[in-house]
Amino acid sequence: MTDAVLGGVAVPAVRKRAQDGVVLPVLTVLAVLLAVWYVAAVWLNAPQVTEQLNRGGTDWGVSRLVAGTWAMERPVLPAPHQVAVELYDSVFGRPVTSKRSLVYHAQVTLSATVAGFALGLALGVLLAIGIVHVTVLDRSLMPWIIASQTIPILAIAPMIVVVLGNLGFTGLLPKAIISGYLSFFPIAIGMVKGLRSPDPLQLDLMRTYSATDAQTFAKLRWPSSMSFLFPSLKVAIALSLVGAIVAELPTGAQAGLGARLLAGSYYGQTIQIWAALFMSAFLAVAAVGAVGLAERGLTRLRGGRL
Amino acid sequence: MVPGQAVLEGLAPAAGTGAQRAPVVEARDLSLIFQTPDAPVTALSDINLTIRRGDFVSLIGPSGCGKTTLMRVVADLARQTSGTLLVNGGSAEQARLDRAYGYVFQAPALYPWRSIERNIMLPLEIMGMSKAERRERAARYLDLVGLKGFERKFPWQLSGGMQQRVSIARALSFEPALLLMDEPFGALDEITRDNLNVHLLRLWEKTGITVIFVTHSIPEAVFLSSKIVVMSPRPGRILEVIDSDLPTDRDLDARETPEFLEIAHRVRVALRAGHSYD
B135-174 residue pLDDT tens: 999 999 998 888 999 999 999 999 988 999 999 999 999 9
The answer, yes or no, to whether residue B7 has pLDDT greater than 50, is no
pLDDT tier for residue B82 given thresholds of 50, 70 and 90: very high
The answer, yes or no, to whether the previous bond of B235 is cis (omega within 30 of 0) is: yes
Average pLDDT over residues B199-205: 88
Tell me: the pLDDT tens digits for B206-252?
888 999 999 989 999 999 999 999 998 888 889 999 998 888 778 88
Contacts of residue B154 in chain A, CB cutoff 8 Å? 302-305
Question: A300 in contact with B at a CB cutoff of 8 Å?
Answer: no
Average pLDDT over residues A268-295: 94
The pLDDT score that the predictor gives to residue B14 is 44
Tell me: the pLDDT tens digits for A120-153?
999 999 999 999 999 999 889 988 999 999 988 8
The pLDDT score that the predictor gives to residue B276 is 58
Tell me: the pLDDT tens digits for A162-221?
898 899 888 889 999 999 999 999 999 999 999 999 999 999 999 999 999 999 999 999
The answer, yes or no, to whether residue A6 has pLDDT greater than 70, is no
List C-alpha distances in Å: B8 to A71, A231, B134, B149, B209: 86, 47, 17, 19, 11
Q: B32 — phi, psi (to 5°)?
A: -140, 120
List C-alpha distances in Å: A301 to A92, A291, B35, B122, B176: 38, 16, 45, 17, 31
The pLDDT score that the predictor gives to residue B212 is 96
Average pLDDT over residues A96-123: 93
The answer, yes or no, to whether residue B13 has pLDDT greater than 50, is no
pLDDT tier for residue B79 given thresholds of 50, 70 and 90: very high
What distance in Å separates residue A155's CA from the closest CA in chain B? 43
Question: A209 in contact with B at a CB cutoff of 8 Å?
Answer: yes
Question: A223 in contact with B at a CB cutoff of 8 Å?
Answer: yes
pLDDT tier for residue B195 given thresholds of 50, 70 and 90: confident
Q: What is the mean pLDDT of chain A?
A: 89
The pLDDT score that the predictor gives to residue A5 is 43
Tell which of A199, A204, A208, A295 to mutate to test the B interface (max B CBs under 10 Å).
Answer: A208
In CATH, the architecture of B16-100+177-274 is: 3-Layer(aba) Sandwich (3.40)
The pLDDT score that the predictor gives to residue B275 is 65
Tell me: the pLDDT tens digits for B31-78?
999 888 888 888 999 999 999 999 999 999 988 888 999 999 999 999
What letter would DSSP give residue B21? S
The domain segmentation of chain B, as residue ranges, is: 16-100+177-274, 110-175
Contacts of residue B77 in chain A, CB cutoff 8 Å? 204, 207-208
The pLDDT score that the predictor gives to residue B38 is 87
What distance in Å separates residue B267's CA from the closest CA in chain A? 30
The pLDDT score that the predictor gives to residue A8 is 45
Give the CB-side neighbour count of residue B35, counting CA atoms within 13 A.
2
Is residue A243 within 8 Å of A287, Cβ to Cβ? no
Complex prediction ipTM: 0.86
Q: Name the more confident of B271 and A223.
A: A223
Contacts of residue B112 in chain A, CB cutoff 8 Å? 302, 305
pLDDT tier for residue A13 given thresholds of 50, 70 and 90: low
Contacts of residue A201 in chain B, CB cutoff 8 Å? 105, 107, 109
Contacts of residue A221 in chain B, CB cutoff 8 Å? none
Q: What is the mean pLDDT of chain B?
A: 87
Q: Which residue segments constitute the domains of chain A, with CATH numbers given?
A: 2-76 (no CATH), 102-301 (1.10.3720.10)
Cβ contact A302–B113 (<8 Å): yes
Question: B113 in contact with A at a CB cutoff of 8 Å?
Answer: yes
pLDDT tier for residue A19 given thresholds of 50, 70 and 90: low
Beta strand pairing call for B82-87 and B210-215:
unpaired
pLDDT tier for residue A1 given thresholds of 50, 70 and 90: very low
CA distance A196 to A224: 8
DSSP B75-130: TTSS--SEEEEEETTB-HHHHHHTT-EEEE-SS----TTS-HHHHHHHHHHHTT--
CA distance A55 to A66: 17
The answer, yes or no, to whether residue A34 has pLDDT greater than 50, is yes
Q: Name the more confident of B19 and A256.
A: A256
Tell me: the pLDDT tens digits for A209-226?
999 999 999 999 999 999
CA distance B164 to B85: 29
Cβ contact A204–B125 (<8 Å): no
pLDDT tier for residue A59 given thresholds of 50, 70 and 90: confident
Question: B187 in contact with A at a CB cutoff of 8 Å?
Answer: no
Question: B157 in contact with A at a CB cutoff of 8 Å?
Answer: yes
